[in-house]
Amino acid sequence: MVDIWVQDEARIGQQGKTTRMWCKKGSRPRAIKQLQFTNTYIFGAVCPSKGLAAAIIVPYIGTVAMQEHLNEISKQVPPGRHAVILVDRAAWHMGKKLKIPKNISLLPQPPYSPELNSCEQIWQFLRNHYLSNRCFDGYDDIVDACVEAWNNFVALPGKIKSLCSRSWMKC
């Protein structure tokens, strides 16, 4: 049996996003914006049909991080199932040095088509609900915030399916 997964990565750090906030009408609320550049990356993948998720948080981006991420996804694939992972064409997604686990196949998206990767909605959700309008003291604080945001996201009943399901993903 085959399950379709979507995968992507996002940079999270001190140069974060400022989002809308509730305030009294006519007032101009102040929002926090840091000038430092410390950041980390969340490599995340979800299977919308099964509600499964796998993520790692790493300080760098590249083939080594992608290998770690594939290994983590492989652990989440139920026995007897095979995961087809939709990936964009970043160099580290398709590197020849990758050792793809036996229960995984990679399916590259067409070039310049981020709208096909429903994982993008996850990053928008995490930024809008957990990671915006805040200051981070340093790297460890950023990692803790990423872990908390990801864990809160996957704990929301039906959120993976509602954000990431697409009609063309059915097997």
pLDDT of residue 6: 95
Phi-psi bin for 62: left (phi > 0), alpha (psi -120 to 50), beta? left
pLDDT of residue 37: 66
**Intra-chain end-to-end CA distance of the chain, in Å:** 9
pLDDT of residue 40: 92
* Angle of CA points 63, 36, 56, to nearest 5°: 30
pLDDT of residue 64: 96
Residue closest to 42 by CA, chosen among 161, 127, 150, 160: 150
From the number of C-beta atoms within 10 Å of its C-beta (0-12, 13-18, 19+), residue 42 rates as: buried
pLDDT of residue 5: 96
Pull the structure tokens for residue 144. Answer: 């803790």
**Each residue's pLDDT tens digit, 124-150:** 999 989 988 777 888 999 999 999 999
Domains along the chain with CATH numbers: 2-14+33-164 (3.30.420.10)
Place of tokens 């790692």: 56
Task: Find out whether 31 and 133 touch, Cβ atoms under 8 Å.
Answer: yes
Helix runs in the chain, H state only? 63-76, 119-126, 139-155, 159-164
**Each residue's pLDDT tens digit, 32-69:** 654 556 789 999 999 999 999 999 999 999 999 999 99
